Structure 1
Amino acid sequence: MARAANGNPEPEQRVSKSDAEWREQLSDEQYRVTRQAGTERAFSSEMCSLFEPGIYACVCCGTELFDASHKFESHSGWPSFTQPLQDNAIAYHADNSHGMQRVETTCNVCDAHLGHVFPDGPPPTGLRFCMNAAALQKAR
């Protein structure tokens, strides 16, 4: 919550594209989730139950966001991680929509909506980065 209120770390670079360029690059679902802050249906992706080693990146710009070693089964219906790969990979924003107080997570490089972070995760961070699978791609 502190970052959402006090500001985010600077990314190493920025990626900016026109709406037309994003629409051309992304599938309809990826565009809806990442560029329009949508949410995919719970349990709609097999990514939730995949726990093989690797790195997950932003589907829009390829920025590496999460290490699979920090992925856990949250039973929420979305891929969940305890922490980002780097401190400046994720940006945090207060989200008071739908009558809830949450923290939205976006790619700090291209502003793609990723999901939300909640303070109910396992140790060591106690955080649950609840991500839309449509916003992620396996990078390596």
Structure 2
Amino acid sequence: MVRANDGVAQRRSLVLRVIYALCLLGATYNHWVEIFQHGLFWDHGGFPRASTTFWTTLAVLDPTAAILLFWRPNVGVAATAAIIVADVVHNVWIEANYFPPLLHGLAGAPQVIAQIAFMVFVLITAPLAWATSRQVVG
């Protein structure tokens, strides 16, 4: 017998995964616009190669996670959380090291604030987005 709440949980999971995917696809668009405008090996104005490579790989990682959110939902949720945490940690590090003081730098970087908000949203809602099929034996 399947619990009645499973339908609600599955719909909630789907809605959250759609929100995650839309955000990831928006980021994908931004990454590809930069690649088309500046080339694959753009240094973003002189940042370290590791940082620019990370930003460029997001053009592939973000849409891959978006696809996984529907093809392999739990893998997609985990990938989304991992990507946004890594992105926020990296971008806050960039802000702290290249645009100190950190709080002043963040005030001038609304895109990083948006990433932090998305990260908090994902981390809070990921347990609800985790696709489960609970069955009761009996």
TM-score of the aligned structures, taking structure 1 as reference length: 0.23
Q: Which has the greater radius of gyration?
A: 2
TM-score (structure 2 length as normaliser): 0.23
Give the number of the structure with larger relative contact order, counting CA–CA contacts within 8 Å between residues 6 or more apart. Answer: 2
Q: When you count helix as a share of all residues, which structure comes out higher?
A: 2
Kindly indicate which of the two structures has a greater share of residues assigned to strand: 1
